[in-house]
Structure formats: structure tokens, C-alpha cells
Structure 1
Amino acid sequence: MADPAGGRPSVCPSLLYADAKAAIEQLTGALGFAELVVYEGEDGLVHHAELTQGGGVVMLGSKGSGGRFDDAMRGAGPAGVYVVVDDVDGHYQRAVEHGVEILMPPTDQDYGSRDYMARDLEGNVWSFGVYAPRLEG
């Protein structure tokens, strides 16, 4: 559900695809998503993309593009989900206190976010951070 005051979703599913370009084509062409941003590396892989649908956003990228999230998703459940939280460190501490498997402690990212990664009991990867994609310009 989007934050009506700020135009930012509070939950963003994050998926990796063997062919992210084909996935973007299908999601936008066949399933009604709109392309918000796509960042490709020199290797031609989609390192990060954001697609919008209504008030929500799905983030996706190419399998094998490297990075902590790509590594964490190997052997993970069927999806990864990014959730916006105001207090990353407090949220992280609560997860640790409940015995959640932590994949990456709170980390300041180059793009301005602070986030951490955890794995749930079924192997799904959950990221919690302060970054929220802008739906409005």
C-alpha cells in the first residue's frame, strides 16, 4: 500500500530473473506494469529496475549480477521482499532478539539507504531499509 501523503510504497517485492530484460518486457507489455527506472551494467545485465503498478513498485534485476542480494538469493525461497522502515537499527535489533537469520547487518548504501537483510524460515530473503522509490517526479 502506498503512503498517500508521500507517494511512496512501503513494501517492494524484489525478484531476480535469469533474463531480466525479457521479464521487464513481459511485465510491462503483458501485465500492465510501467517502467520507472532500469539500471544496466556494462555487462548488459539489469543491476536494478523499478516497475510500477498502481500504487506499488516491484524491484528486479538479473541473476548473476553479483552483490550481497544476488548472493543471498542463491538457494533462497521463491522471492525477496524489500520493506521500508523508519528505524533500521531498531528493526534489526528486534529481528536479532527473535533469532532471525541475518544475512547482512545494517549497512549504509551508496544510493543513500541504510538497510539490512534477513532470511525467513522458508528461505525467503527480506530486506528492511529507509530507501523508498519515488512514484512521482
Structure 2
Amino acid sequence: MAGTSGGRPGLSPTLLYKDAKAAVRQLTEAFGFTELAVYEGEDGKVAHAELEQGGGVVMLGSKGTGSAFDRVMEGAGPAGVYVVVDDVDAHHRRAVKQGAEILMPPRDQDYGGRDYLARDLEGNVWSFGTYVPGTGG
């Protein structure tokens, strides 16, 4: 994989959520991520979590922990994250079945690939598609 060190992803989006536990549930149940790790603080908030999808990893945690990252992200808006999947239509059906908010149903793109858009419980926009960035297709 280009841009990796020892086969690991070289880029990982990092998101903070008011309810990180609900985010982990939605990302695993509706969007098919695999939970790699979830570390909770003594207060029960998610200090750090790692979820995998298709060889990439997203890291997330709870807002309000007081960590340096939490402080600099205060007031930050939602983010957009693109995830490569093998079967867009099956992935979309799973998300719909789990009640995810669909912003755009699956469609073929002029630049190649097929994708759809969904919004998570806290406003982040997730794109799931077959286009592989950096490969021309």
C-alpha cells in the first residue's frame, strides 16, 4: 500500500464525538467497520478507539476529555471521510437497514467508481465507494 510504513495505513482520520460509544456502534453495525481497540477513561468516556475498514483505520474519541487534541478540536465542525468498499450497493443496503441517514444513494461517477454518501449521528459525512484514490481508478 502506497504511503504506508510496514504495510500499515499512512493516513488515519481522527474524529471526536459527544457520544463516542454510539459512534463506535454505528460505524461497526451500520457501516461495517471492525473494532480494533477501545480504551475508556475512568469517567467512562472513550479516550481512544481504532476502527478498521478495508485496510484503513479511523481513530476516534470522546469530546470533553481535556486532552490536548480535545482542546485544539474544540468548536471544530463535522468532517468528511472517504472509505473504499468492494460492493457499494451491499454496503448501502446494510447502512439503510441499520437506519443510517443516506444523503445520496449509490451512483456511478463520471471520474470512475460508484459511491454513496451518509451522515453519522453527529454530522460527519461518510462517502463509501469503489474509487481508489491515488491509483487513477
TM-score, normalised on structure 1? 0.54
Residue 75 of structure 1 is matched in structure 2 by 75
> Per-residue deviation at 1:3?
5.4
- Asked whether the equivalents of residues 36 and 52 of structure 2 are also in contact (C-alpha less than 8 Å), the reply is yes
Within 2, Cα distance between the matches of 1:2 and 1:57?
A: 15
Structure ranking higher on relative contact order (CA contacts 8 Å, 6+ apart): 1
> Per-residue deviation at 1:65?
1.0
Report the residue type matching 2:67 in the other structure. Answer: G
Structure 2: runs of 5 or more not aligned: 82-137
3-state SS of 1:27 partner: helix
- Asked whether the equivalents of residues 4 and 10 of structure 2 are also in contact (C-alpha less than 8 Å), the reply is no
Write the deviation string for residues 62-104 of structure 1: whole angstroms up to 9, x where unpaired.
01011110000012243499xxxxxxxxxxxxxxxxxxxxxxx
Tell me how many residue pairs correspond in the alignment: 81
Residue 62 of structure 1 is matched in structure 2 by 62
Instruction: Supply the RMSD in Å over aligned alpha carbons.
Output: 2.3
Residue 49 of structure 2 is matched in structure 1 by 49
Report the structure, 1 or 2, having the larger strand content: 1
Percent of pairs with identical residues: 72
TM-score, normalised on structure 2? 0.54
